[in-house]
Structure 1
Amino acid sequence: MWHDAVVIYIGLLMYLSEILAIAAATCIATSSMLIGELRGRVNVFRLARWQMVASFLMTATASLVVGGWRTLEGWQLGYLVISSGFGIVIASTTYFAAIYTAGARNTALLFSLTSPFALLLGYLVLGETVSIQQSL
């Protein structure tokens, strides 16, 4: 009996990254629908502020649980702050504004173009080589 549980557990660990990716995509899709409902009630900057506070609290809690703060050096904290500035303040605010302006469905369609644009810009700007399999 315990053998079956171990096999299932190992199977879940093998697919953990895929499970987490699907969970993240589900959260993003659900949140974009919910964000669309906030239009006219909460402005974009307040929503971004809420997201910044929530993400900081989740990151801080996770770091406290696993002891991650001790492993960070001073220069890494600067990169963390800069990453938060670009990732949450700029990217999320413009994403929320797009949802408010174009609606959740149209924004999801635009958001799905991320991969093709990343592939194209990687090829054109960074000079990356792209195989046919990668482009497909």
Structure 2
Amino acid sequence: MVLPAHEEPRGAIRAAGLLRPGPGSRAPHEVRARPRGYVPPVRTIRRPEVTAMATGETGFSDVMYDLVSVQYHALKAGHDYGQYVRDARNAGYDDVASFFEEVMTEDSRRAARCHEFLRELSAKEDTGSTA
């Protein structure tokens, strides 16, 4: 049985010489053999030393940056949850709406706690630019 060209297995098409390798790729007969016992070189990735209060490109400590990030995401999620509450209420799922309200309250508390930590840390360290 002969299949139309678009249904033939790729191997059959390649064997018939109809499928050519793409630009820059090697044909199967062009594969270079590696010498026996060849071991590819090992690449070493150097990681910078981590200090307790490292400052990155922002000039702020990593801890401050992390707290700001958590605070932002908690506030952003809280904003999104407001829509989820409305969606659940409109669909008649009051129990789901209550769940979203609980999560929204937790994120609000989380953002407030981050704010407290940020206030404490900003009093302890110089948060000015390092540039």
**TM (normalized to structure 1)?**
0.28
Q: Normalized per residue, which structure has more helix? A: 1
Bigger relative CO (Cα 8 Å, ≥ 6 apart) = 1
Q: TM-score, normalised by structure 2?
A: 0.29
